[in-house]
Amino acid sequence: MDKPPHPFYRHLDRELAAVREAGLYKTERVITTPQGAHVQTLNAEGSPRDVLNLCANNYLGLSAHPAVLEAAHAALRSHGYGLSSVRFICGTQDLHKQLEARLARFLGTEDTILYAAAFDANGGLFEPLLGEQDAIISDTLNHASIIDGIRLCKARRYRYQHNDMADLERCLQQAAADGARFTLVFTDGVFSMDGTIAQLDVIRRLCDQYGALLGVDECHATGFLGATGRGTHEHRGVFGQIDIITGTLGKALGGASGGFTSGRRAVIELLRQRSRPYLFSNTVAPVIVGASLAVLDLLESSTELRDRLADNTRFFRDAIRAAGFQIRPGDHPIVPIMVHDAVLAQRLSARLLELGVYAVGFFYPVVPQGQARIRVQLSAAHTRSDLEHAVAAFAQAGRELGLVA
Ligand SMILES: *Cc1c(COP(=O)(O)O)cnc(C)c1O
C-alpha cells in the first residue's frame, strides 16, 4: 500500500485553497515569442494569439533589440556560457570589470558591484554597511527586496509615510534623538504601482540638513529617466549626489537579469568583502554582461530611445485621458488607469485581451482597497499605431463595462 502523504502536504493544499478563495491566486500567461511590443500568448485552450504588450518593463524596447542580441552572441562566442564560480574564486572576467566601470560612469558614481539580481543587491546591501548603532529610514512603499534587506540588518528602523517629506523629516529627527551614529535614508526612485517619482532633490536637502546618507533603488528609472536616461537623480537635478544606487539589468537595460549597487569606492569595496549574495552566489553570465555593455553604448551614443519613450508616454497619457479614463497624473511610462473596483479591473483586463491588448489588473493587497487599476507600461518599441489601437481597445472595453461614456 502507498504511504499516506505527510500532513505537511495537506497543510499546503489548505494554504493554496485559501489563496484561491481570497482571490489572490496568481497564474502565469505563457508567451511563445521574444519579449516585445507584440507577443504571442497561449490562451486557455493552448492556441496562440498575437497581442500588443502593455505590461513589460521593456521600457526602451531592448529585450530583443538586434544590437543587443548581436552583442550577446558575440560575448557567448568570446567568453563562453557560464563561469561556474563566484566572483572572488574564478568568476571575474574582463567584461565584468568593464561593465562595473561603465555603470559607475553612467550613474555618476565611483564604482559598481554586480549581483545576480537587484533583489540580491538590495538583500545584501544594508547588513554589511550598517550596525546596531545606526539608523535606516525607509519609505513605506519601498520594494520588497529593500524591506527584506533592511530586515537582515541590525540597524534601527524608521518608516515614513509614502512620499511624505514632513514625515521623513520627523524620522530624521527621531533617529538623531535616538543617538544614531550613521543614518541612511533609502527610497525607490520610482514606485512601480503608481509611477510616482521620488522627490530626490528634497530628500537630498533633508539628508544634508541632518547629516544623513541617501540611497535609491533605480530599477524603474535607469536608462530612461532624466534628459540622458541616467535616472531619477538626473530627472530631479541631483545627479552625482546620491550615496548609494541600486538597480537592475532586468528591466530597461535589456531585461535579462542581473543587478548592481553603485556608489563611493569604499562602499563597493566593503560590499565585495562582506555582501553575502555576492560572496555566495554565481557570477552574472558573460552573455548578459556583454549585452549590457552594448546597451550602455547605445544609451551613451544617443537619447533617441528615451526620447521616443517620453513621446509615447505623453501621447498615451493624453489620449487615454481624452477617452475618459482617470489616470494617476505624472510623466513616467508607468500609467495607472484607475478602475477602483477589483472585479471591474479583472473584467477590463480580460476584455482588453480579447481585443488584442495585454494589460494586467492590480488590486488589493498589491494596491490599497478601492484603488484597483490597470497598469500600463509604455515602451520605446511601441509605434503610434500600437498606442492608437490600445486607446481604442480601452475605449471600447470601457464603454462596454460602463467605465467611460
Ligand atoms: C524589479 C525590482 C527589483 C528587483 O529586480 P530584479 O533584478 O528583477 O531582482 C528591485 N527593486 C525594485 C524597485 C524593482 O522594481
The 3-state secondary structure of 350-394, one letter per residue? HHHHHCCEECEEECCCCCCCCCEEEEEECCCCCCHHHHHHHHHHH
Note whether 112 and 261 are within 8 A (CB): yes
Rounded CA separation 274/323 (Å): 53
- Is the CB–ligand 1 distance for residue 195 below 6 Å? no
Out of 63, 138, 192, 262, the active site residue is: 192
Least Cα distance to 92 among 286, 256, 237 occurs for 286
Nearest ligand 1 atom to alpha carbon 142: 13
- Is the CB–ligand 1 distance for residue 255 below 6 Å? no
Rounded CA separation 261/267 (Å): 9
Q: Quote helix, strand, coil % in the chain, to nearest 5.
A: 40, 20, 40
> Rg of the chain's alpha carbons, rounded to an integer?
22
pLDDT computed for residue 1 by the predictor:
63
pLDDT computed for residue 3 by the predictor:
87
Measured CA distances, 360 to 56, 121, 246 (Å) = 10, 27, 27
What is the distance in A from the centroid of ligand 1 to the CA of 119?
6
- Is the CB–ligand 1 distance for residue 192 below 6 Å? yes
Q: Which residue numbers in the chain have pLDDT < 70?
A: 1
Residue 96 annotated as catalytic: no
Q: 10 Å Cβ neighbour count for 105?
A: 14
Residue 220 annotated as catalytic: yes
Length of the chain counted residue by residue: 405
What is the distance in A from the centroid of ligand 1 to the CA of 4?
41
Residues 6+ apart with CB under 8 A from 350: none
- Please state the pTM of the whole predicted model: 0.97
Rounded CA separation 308/310 (Å): 5
Residue 292 annotated as catalytic: no
What is the distance in A from the centroid of ligand 1 to the CA of 288?
16
Residue of 35, 122, 225, 248 to test ligand 1 pocket, by largest number of atoms within 8 Å of CB: 248
- Is the CB–ligand 1 distance for residue 259 below 6 Å? yes
Q: What is the maximum alpha-carbon separation in the chain? A: 72
pLDDT computed for residue 39 by the predictor:
98
What is the distance in A from the centroid of ligand 1 to the CA of 48?
30
3-class secondary structure, 196: strand
Note whether 233 and 246 are within 8 A (CB): no
H-run or E-run covering 148: helix 144-151
Measured CA distances, 282 to 85, 114, 133 (Å) = 6, 11, 32
Rounded CA separation 161/139 (Å): 6
Q: Residue for cell digits 543587443?
A: 68
- Is the CB–ligand 1 distance for residue 145 below 6 Å? yes
End-to-end CA distance of the chain: 64
Asked if the peptide bond before residue 48 counts as cis, ω within 30 degrees of 0, the response is no
Q: What is the DSSP letter of 42?
A: E
Sign of CA dihedral 309, 312, 316, 318: positive
- Is the CB–ligand 1 distance for residue 119 below 6 Å? yes
Residue of 114, 125, 145 to test ligand 1 pocket, by largest number of atoms within 8 Å of CB: 145
